[in-house]
Amino acid sequence: MNRLGLHLRPWSISLLKLHMLTMNSERYLSKVHQMFINNGLMTFSQTNKKNFTIQWNKELDERGYEKLVGMFLEIESENKTPQLLQFDSLVSNWAFNTKRPELAERWLNFRLQKECSRAVKVSLVLDYINSFTGLRPEEIDEQKIINSVREIKTDIMNTDNITFAKVIPPLCMTSGYKSCMELMKEYTKIFTKDVYLLPKNLAYRLPDVVDAAIRKDDFKFAAEIIREHKDIANHFLFKLWKGLLKHSDTLSVDRIFELFSSVDNFNLPHSIEDDLLQILEKDQKQWKVFKNRSIKGKHCENCGEKIEPHVFDGEGIEMIKTNISATLDRHNKDRFSTFLQFLHSLEDINYVVDGMWLNHHFIMKEKKTFHSTMELEDYLHQYLPGRKLIIARNVFFHQNEHIFDDPDVIGFPVNYSDDERKKSASSLDDLFLLYAALQFNQSCYIVTGDYMRDHISKLKENLTELCSRWILSKSIKTFQRVSPNTWELPITAKPFVKTKKGWHISTSDRIHSPRVWCIQECK
């Protein structure tokens, strides 16, 4: 139930933009669907044992409309709100598919003649304005959408976020697209103090707003939205990419890259590479693409310019830090406050090292790993040049006291807190490690074999993907296969960097094997 007392209606969402619906079992057909099919308004066909499709019949004449009203009255007599709402959604979906918002308008007027709750009215109006979204923006009467939104504005703030998100696509077809961002912020504020934590269902709609801004040549606004939300969920960034490339007929390659240049830690997905190449071919400027074989050398093999690494400096990173800090403060307050003072006294650190992971590899020699042939202090000296902060349980310090003779090796022991002993908190040593790495974020790598998935999953929803990206780009964990002479720090490449002669575009989402394309104008 949402806050206005409505059940969510999966049909209204899944049907919204589908001309054809594929399902894997007949039992999902609701009574309302059956009714539409039996009355010849929809066609049902079984494609094989498991799959079937439902298709809209295109025409609805006056007799058809009367039939529709009759069907509705029959359902209405049963007095089940979810069924009625499903019925409404199907009608608006039909209007969308046949590109006839006038049908949706007629239906809305018919429905509003009857008494209905505010929640039902919101739903009816949203269904109506969404019937416009099948048209081109120039075909719509935008005032109708803007007025409708105005009418339900107060009530929509009390709906669940799936329902709320339905206001965005129609509003983005109008000159009121800018008000979407204000509405979203206002709505998000009701749920959380952090406006940054836009619910995923809303984040997924941001590309619609960017799209609207680009259609209106409002690049400043488009760039602003991208910049403000660059650290959020991967699927939003992916959708944004797809959306922007669709404008390649009117946008130059430079303009597309400029719009994206604030995205600094999510690389161009592999699946979009071909689209990008096609766009480069079509652009007025003639572009030549050189693909770097690797970025180990840290400089472009083509133009010699430095390849810039991922950047994590936004509000999201601060929020992850705050989150971790709150957990440590709750479950191991004393040790954490000592830790904070200790960090404060440290100069820059190049590696934050998971001591328990080192122990696992260097002390358990019977495992016959690469490390068992090497002494721990040699490893630290040869493989991790620079200052290292080792965080581990006390046992590590008893066993490896000698390694701290080196002034570049610094240690911090983490005791078991009462909460950990009582099992009211899960293992906290990794969180100390992550906190230190966040503190020295710009200068350090994390040395660990752990992906920290447990810890990531406990963060708030929009921070989890950012945190995974951050940990992956910072972690050194595959060095077992690297021979001492060729050892180099892994480097992650920033996705869009303007160079003297063109652009560096990092084209892989597999963080440890990014490929950098050097794209230059042919003169």
CB of 442 to Zn ion, least distance (A): 23
Q: Which residues are registered as beta bridge partners of 290?
A: 518
93 or 292, CB closer to Zn ion? Answer: 292
10 Å CB burial of residue 62 (0-12, 13-18, 19+) is: exposed
Pick between residue 300 and residue 437 the one whose CB is nearest to Zn ion.
300
Q: Tell me the closest approach of the beta carbon of residue 522 to Zn ion, in angstroms.
A: 14
Half-sphere exposure of 381 (CA within 13 A, CB side): 10
For the bound state, the minimum distance from the C-beta of residue 519 to Zn ion, rounded and expressed in Å, comes to 8
> Order of strands across the sheet with 502-506?
287-291, 516-521, 502-506, 496-498
Shorter beta-carbon distance to Zn ion: residue 259 or 497: 497
The DSSP call for residue 443 is T
Please tell me the distance from the alpha carbon of residue 236 to that of residue 127, in angstroms, as a whole number. 24
CB of 456 or CB of 493, closer to Zn ion: 493
Specify the residue, 425 or 518, whose C-beta has the smaller distance to Zn ion.
Answer: 518
Burial class (CB in 10 A: 0-12, 13-18, 19+), 480: exposed
Q: Which residues contact 250 (CB under 8 A, 6 or more apart)?
A: none
Minimum distance of Zn ion from residue 500's CB (angstroms): 9
Structure tokens at 104: 């949706």
- Using the minimum distance from each CB to Zn ion, give the nearer residue, 112 or 303: 303
Nearer to Zn ion, 162 or 303 (CB): 303
Whole-number minimum distance, CB 486 to Zn ion, in Å? 23
Q: State in angstroms the smallest separation of the CB of 207 from Zn ion.
A: 29
Q: Which CB sits closer to Zn ion, 365 or 498?
A: 498
Contacts of 26 (CB under 8 A, 6+ apart): 46, 52
Q: How far is the CB of 303 from Zn ion (least distance, A)?
A: 3
The contacts of residue 204 (CB under 8 Å, 6+ apart) are 165, 233, 235, 236, 239
Burial classification of residue 155, based on how many CB atoms lie within 10 Å of its CB (0-12 exposed, 13-18 middle, 19 or more buried):
middle
Strand 496-498 relative to strand 502-506: parallel, antiparallel, unpaired? Answer: antiparallel
Give min distance, CB of 292 to Zn ion, in A: 7
Q: Are strands 20-23 and 502-506 parallel, antiparallel or unpaired?
A: unpaired
Query: Do residues 317 and 470 touch, judged by C-beta distance below 8 A?
Result: yes
Rounded to a whole number of angstroms, the minimum distance from the CB of residue 504 to Zn ion is 6
Residue 282 C-beta: closest distance to Zn ion, Å: 22
Q: Which CB sits closer to Zn ion, 276 or 300? A: 300
CB 251, min distance to Zn ion, A: 23
| Minimal distance, residue 286 CB to Zn ion, in Å | 17
Query: Which CB, 264 or 308, lies closer to Zn ion?
Result: 308
Q: Which is nearer to Zn ion, 310 or 387 (CB)?
A: 310
In whole angstroms, give the CA distance from residue 120 to residue 86.
Answer: 11
Residues in the chain: 523
Residue 224 phi/psi, 5° resolution? -65, -45
Rounded distance between C-alpha atoms, residue 351 and residue 474, angstroms = 10
> Between residues 300 and 356, which has the closer beta carbon with respect to Zn ion?
300
Least spacing, CB of residue 509 vs Zn ion, in Å? 20
Distance from C-alpha of 159 to C-alpha of 440, rounded to nearest angstrom: 41
Residues at the contact surface with Zn ion, assessed by CB under 5 A: 300, 302-303, 518
Compute, in degrees rounded to 10, the torsion defined by CA atoms 480, 485, 491, 497. -160
Closer to Zn ion at the Cβ: 254 or 408? 254
CA dihedral 280, 283, 287, 290 (to 10 degrees): -10
Angle (nearest 5°) at CA 303 between 299 and 305: 40
Q: How far is the CB of 230 from Zn ion (least distance, A)?
A: 23
160-185 b/e with 16+ CB inside 10 Å = b?
ebbbbbbbbbbbbbbebbbbbbebbe
CB nearer to Zn ion: give 303 or 363.
303
Q: Which of 189, 208, 320, 210 is nearest to 265 (CA)?
A: 320
Range 5-38 burial, b when 16+ CB lie within 10 A, else e: ebeebebbeebbeeeebeeeeeeeeeebbebbee
